[in-house]
A and B are shown apart, each in its own frame.
Chain A
Amino acid sequence: MKRPLGTIAGARSGDKGGDANLGVWVRTEQAYEWLNGFLTTEKLKELLPEAREVSRYELPNLKALNFVLHGLLGDGVAGSTRFDPQAKALGEWLRSREVEIPEELL
Chain B
Amino acid sequence: MIRIGNASGFYGDRLSAMREQLEGGHLDVLTGDYLAELTMLILGRDRMKDSSLGYAKTFLRQMEDCLALALDKGVKIVTNAGGLNPEGLARKLDAKVGYVTGDDLKGRFPEALTANAYLGAWEIAECLNQGAQVVVTGRVTDASLVVGPAAAHFGWARTDWDRLAGATVAGHVLECGTQATGGNYSFFTEIDATRPGFPIAEIDEDGSCLITKHDGTGGAVTTDTVTAQLLYEIGAPEYLGPDVTTHFDTIRLEEHQRGVRISGTRGSLPPDTLKVCLNTLGGFRNATTFVLTGLDVDAKAELVKRQLHDAIGDEGLTWTLARTDQSDADTEEQASALLHVTIKTADPRRAKGFSRAAIELALASYPGFHVTAPPGDGTPFGVYRAAYVNRDEVSAKAVLL
Tier of interface size on chain B: 35 or more
Q: Mark A19-41, 1 if CB is under 8 A from B, else 0.
A: 10101110100000000000000
Q: B383 contacts A10, CB within 8 Å?
A: no
Closest to A27 in B: B224
Q: Mark B193-233, 1 if CB is under 8 A from A, else 0.
A: 00000000000000000000000000000001001111111
Q: B227 contacts A16, CB within 8 Å?
A: no
How far is A79 from B41 in the complex, measured between Cα atoms in Å?
11
Q: Mark A71-106, 1 if CB is under 8 A from B, else 0.
A: 000011111010100001001100100000000000
Q: Counting CB contacts under 8 A, is B361 at the interface?
A: no
Q: Counting CB contacts under 8 A, is B107 at the interface?
A: no
Q: B41 contacts A83, CB within 8 Å?
A: no
How far is A24 from B224 in the complex, measured between Cα atoms in Å?
11
Q: B232 contacts A76, CB within 8 Å?
A: no
Q: Which of B248-256, B328-336, B393-401 contacts the other chain?
A: B248-256
Q: Which of B83-91, B118-126, B234-242 contacts the other chain?
A: B234-242
How far is A59 from B169 in the complex, measured between Cα atoms in Å?
15
Give the residue of A9, A21, A77, A83 whose beta carbon is less than 8 angstroms from that of B322. Answer: A83
Q: B38 contacts A77, CB within 8 Å?
A: yes
Q: Counting CB contacts under 8 A, is B340 at the interface?
A: yes
Which residues from A are CB-within-8-Å of B386? 17
Q: Provide a sorted-by-A list of 30 A–B residue pairs whose CB atoms are within 8 angstroms.
A: A10-B185, A10-B187, A11-B186, A12-B228, A12-B231, A15-B37, A16-B233, A18-B384, A23-B231, A23-B232, A25-B231, A57-B236, A59-B237, A61-B249, A61-B251, A61-B253, A62-B230, A62-B231, A62-B248, A66-B234, A66-B237, A76-B37, A76-B382, A76-B383, A77-B37, A78-B381, A79-B384, A81-B318, A81-B320, A88-B184
List 4 tightest A-B contacts by C-beta distance, closest first: A23-B231, A10-B186, A76-B384, A81-B342
Interface of B with A (CB < 8 Å)?
A: 37-38, 41, 179, 184-187, 224, 227-237, 248-253, 264, 279, 282, 285, 287, 318, 320, 322, 340, 342, 344, 381-386
**13 extra interchain contacts, Cβ-Cβ under 8 A, other than A16-B233, A66-B237, A81-B318?**
A9-B186, A10-B185, A12-B179, A12-B186, A16-B235, A21-B235, A25-B228, A57-B237, A59-B249, A62-B230, A78-B41, A81-B287, A92-B186
